[in-house]
Amino acid sequence: MSDLRELYQEVIFDHNRHPRNFGKLVNANRHSEGFNPLCGDSLDLYLIVDNNRIIDIKFEGQGCAISTASASLMTEVLKGKTLQEAEQLFEGFHQMVTTGETPSIDLGKLSVLAGVSEFPARVKCASLSWHTLNAALHNSTQPVTTE
Amino acid sequence: MFNVAQIRGQFPILKSSVRGKPLVYLDNAATTQKPQCVIDAESNYYDVLNANVHRGVHKLSQDATDAFEKARDTIQHFIGAAHREEIIFTRGATEAINLVASSWGRANLKPGDEILLSQMEHHANIVPWQLIAEQTGAKIKVIPMDDTGTLDLTQFEALLSSKTKMLGITQVSNALGTVNPVQYMIEKAHQVGALVLVDGAQSILHQTVNVTELDCDFFVFSGHKLYGPTGIGVLYGKKALLNAMPPYQAGGDMIFKVTFEKSTFNHLPYKFEAGTPHIAGAIALGTAIEFVQSIGLKDIAHHEAELLDYAAQQARSIPQLRVIGQAKDKVSVFSFVMDGVHPHDIGTILDSEGVAIRTGHHCAMPVMDYFKIPATARASLALYNTKEDIDALFVALHRVTEMFLK
Ligand SMILES: Cc1ncc(COP(=O)(O)O)c(C=O)c1O
């Protein structure tokens, strides 16, 4: 039960009910789609990248509380970051949700998702937005899937 | 007398706990648990009977062959097939459908021919037909359903024509629980000269099936959804049709004579059983069927129907809960969504209470598309479930509403 509370923290409910940076970015210069075939979650990520920096970022899609909150938190944290910083956050986040270890880099509010590591079936939900980001930054045209 | 406590006692896994709570297993449409007699039958084969079948003059091989062939007889009688050689062992329902689509389809379908499927088919009864349609130029037509999850029979009849060569229809929908009027549909399809494949994966454990009375041309099911092992299933086909079909896979056991110039094929059922089969699985499937017969499908159906009604009543205590699939004739499946909560989150919270259900699209994406939802949460019943299981489900669901919808 304590694990469940760890997973579903108030912040996660908040971001699930009121996702930040939700919608299309019309003048985006990077875009990528993510898909979790297991649960039908899908996500569209839009970015404006200029001079190696994420100027703006938004997402659209439908998913569970974990995937929606994770995408919402990700967009909040990434706005204004350089691509190198984004890369480091991606690696740190990945380490946290897959191993449960605290990464060397400070993940800020992303750490509310640390509880996911206790629920292996949900790691994909938390990572979908980050894998989609990775694809957008590497200009991949293939939709990302978690499978 | 149907005694659920006594039945539960035969399923070792039902004594286990999950996350510190007693296991409440409500994911039976995905796979059922196995009674001790099935587990014993499988291990007994390896303990005392292990030898290849149809290949040895030695005693052990003869005994293994006898046990394997006895399982075929058990299955034949269980589904009312006229001939034992109409029972082909496969890996499961999926392989059985692929066998028919590939072998019968390649030999018989031409451009312009139509394969009629329903909107509520499992992907296993869609994708094999799509592949063969692409290869042969045949077209797929879809029988629509309404928002209770009932097939539109008027549309069905309108879709039937002399172009229809195959009707692929599930007897019970795994995503909705709908029981389709297959008897009637088979009769109508036959009137235009089409063959019918009935997917019995979800019906075989809930109701008596008699393929001769149904007059279906093919019938498929999986052992693991019938209290038997994984990796074994059955294709029933009418003898004349199977005889006329080319082999599906080739290798040992399915030949009479091989030279590098030409091989001649074995007779039924071996023509379709290339290679060493899942001998232990087939024997244990026979045991699973004997287990079901000893309890009786009539009593099982009655017990499960009571539980399904009970779940439907309980559901009224949660206003945010919407049942997906409200057909008049329905078995085992309680599929639902909750406003404001994604099914995946429901699944995790239920799991933390020891309640195992399935969440997702249930390999029936066209059903999800129809209802414009990404997924459902699905509890599905088997003979060992109890009112207490349903109560545990609803205690956990109330916990979901507390956490998400307060
Ligand atoms: C209606 C239906 N058909 C076919 C299948 C495929 O069965 P298997 O995966 O055992 O081959 C399933 C399994 O979920 C099913 O529910």
Interchain CB contact of B402 with A (< 8 Å): no
- CATH code at position A122: 3.90.1010.10
> Cβ of B138 under 8 Å from any chain A Cβ?
no
Is residue B307's pLDDT more than 80?
yes
Mean pLDDT confidence for B280-308: 98
Band (pLDDT 50/70/90 cuts) for residue A147 is low
pLDDT-derived band at A66 (thresholds 50, 70, 90) equals very high
Tracing tokens 């991606």 back to the chain, one arrives at A90
Q: Are the C-beta atoms of B308 and B378 separated by less than 8 Å?
A: no
The complex's ipTM? 0.88
Average pLDDT over residues B325-336: 97
Beta strands at B376-380 and B358-360: parallel, antiparallel or unpaired? antiparallel
Q: Does B363 touch chain A (CB under 8 A)?
A: no
Q: What is the mean pLDDT of the segment spanning B59-86?
A: 97
- Mutate one of B344, B367, B373, B402 to test the A interface: name it (highest A CB count within 10 A): B344
For residue B210, which of B70, B77, B69 has the smallest C-alpha distance?
B77
Contact: A39, B375; criterion CB under 8 Å: yes
In this complex, is the C-beta atom of B371 within 8 Å of any C-beta atom belonging to chain A? no
Domain identity same for B82 and B189:
yes
Q: Pull the structure tokens for residue A120.
A: 């292996």
**Interface size, chain A vs chain B, as Cβ–Cβ contacts under 8 Å:** 49
- Residue A75 is encoded by which pair of tokens? 């967009």
Pair B195, B301 in one domain:
no
Q: Tens digits of per-residue pLDDT, B356-387?
A: 999 999 999 999 999 999 899 999 999 999 99
**Mean pLDDT within B389-406:** 94
Amino acid B9: pLDDT = 98
Instruction: Please determine, for residue B266, whether its predicted confidence score (pLDDT) is greater than 70.
Output: yes
**Number of domains forming the structure of chain B:** 2
Ligand 1: distance of its center to the CA of B124 in Å? Answer: 6
Domain boundary among B293, B309, B343: B293
Range with the poorest average pLDDT among B59-68, B74-83, B108-117, B262-271: B262-271
Beta strands across the sheet bearing A30-36:
A53-62, A41-50, A30-36, A144-145
Question: If you measure from the C-alpha of residue A110 to the centroid of ligand 1, how many angstroms do you get, rounded to a whole number?
Answer: 39
Share of chain A above pLDDT 70, in %: 95
A140-144, B68-72, B134-138: the lowest-pLDDT one: A140-144
Both structure tokens of B146 = 């309404």
Read off the pLDDT of residues A21-46 as tens digits, 9 standing for 90 and up. Answer: 999 999 999 999 999 877 778 899 99
Chain A CB contacts of B359 under 8 Å are 39
Pick the residue of A10, A39, A127 with the most B CBs within 10 A to test the interface with B by mutation.
Answer: A39
Q: In terms of DSSP H, where are the helices of B80-220?
A: 93-99, 105-108, 127-136, 153-159, 182-191, 211-214
The answer to whether residues B9 and B77 belong to one domain is no
Instruction: Evaluate: CB of B362 within 6 angstroms of ligand 1.
Output: no
3-state class (DSSP) for residue B71:
helix
Q: Which residues of A touch B404 (CB under 8 A)?
A: 13, 65
Show which residues of B are catalytic: 363
What DSSP line would sit under B198-226, residue for residue?
A: EE-TTTTTTS---HHHHT-SEEEEEGGGG
**Same domain, residue pair B357 and B285:** no
Question: Could you tell me if B24 and B44 lie in one domain?
Answer: no
Q: Which is the closest atom of ligand 1 to the Cα of B93?
A: 11
Which residues of A lie inside 8 Å of B (Cβ-Cβ)?
Answer: 1, 3-4, 7-8, 13, 38-42, 62-66, 68, 119, 121-122, 125
Amino acid, res. A124: K
Q: Quick one: B128 and B265 in the same domain?
A: yes
Are A1 and B361 within 8 A, CB to CB?
no
* Record: contact A4-B360, CB cut-off 8 A: no
CA dist list (Å): B156 to A75, B186, B188, B364: 49, 11, 9, 19
User: What distance in Å separates the CA atoms of residue B333 and residue B146, rounded to the nearest whole number?
Assistant: 18
Average pLDDT over residues B251-280: 90
CB contact under 8 A, A39 and B349: no
Q: Is the pLDDT of residue A1 over 60?
A: no
Terminal-to-terminal C-alpha distance of chain B: 44
Q: Which residue of B has its CA nearest to A38?
A: B360
Report d(CA A147, CA A127) in Å as an integer.
Answer: 12
Q: Please work out whether the CB of residue B28 comes within 6 Å of at least one atom of ligand 1.
A: no
Return the half-sphere exposure (C-beta side, CA atoms, 13 A cut-off) of residue B371. Answer: 24
Domain end: B263, B293, B323, which one?
B293
Q: Average pLDDT for residues B258-276, to the nearest whole number?
A: 91
* Domains of chain A: total: 1
Whether residues B342 and A65 touch (CB distance < 8 A) is answered with yes
Distance A27 CA to ligand 1 centre (A): 45
On chain A, the residues whose CB falls within 8 A of the CB of B352 are 1, 3-4
Mean pLDDT over residues A7-33, rounded?
94
Instruction: Let me know whether B233 and B249 are in one domain.
Output: yes
Q: Do B191 and B160 fall into the same domain?
A: yes
Q: What is the pLDDT of residues B148-198, one digit of tens each?
A: 999 999 999 999 999 999 999 999 999 999 999 999 999 999 999 999 999
* Chain A residues whose beta carbon lies within 8 Å of the beta carbon of residue B365: 40
The CB of B27 under 6 Å from ligand 1? The reply is no
Q: What local confidence, expressed as pLDDT, does residue A2 receive?
A: 62
pTM over 0.90: yes
Is there a single domain that holds both residue B188 and residue B212?
yes
Residue ending a domain, choose from B293, B315, B345: B293
pLDDT at residue A140 tops 80? no
CATH number of the domain that residue B360 is part of: 3.90.1150.10
* Residue A145: predicted pLDDT: 75
When CB atoms are compared, the residue of A1, A13, A62 closest to B374 is: A62
Closest CA to B175 of B364, B366, B393, B312: B364
- Predicted local distance difference test score (pLDDT) of residue A141: 63
3-state secondary structure A65-129: HHHHHHHHHHHHHHCCCEHHHHHHHHHHHHHHHHHCCCCCCCCHHHHHHHHHHHCHHHHHHHHHH
Do B333 and B245 fall into the same domain?
no
Domain that holds residue A7: 2-145
Distance (angstroms) between ligand 1 centre and the Cα of B122 equals 7
Q: Are residues B130 and B251 in the same domain?
A: yes
Which residue has the CA at smallest separation from atom 15 of ligand 1? B201
Mean pLDDT of B16-23: 92
The beta-carbon neighbor of B344 closest among A1, A8, A39 is A39
Residue ranges making up the domain that contains B397? 4-30+297-404
Mean model confidence pLDDT for chain B: 96
Q: Are residues B170 and B46 in the same domain?
A: yes
pLDDT in tens, A100-133: 988 889 999 999 999 999 999 899 999 999 999 9
Cβ contacts of A94 within 8 Å, gap of 6 or more = A127, A130
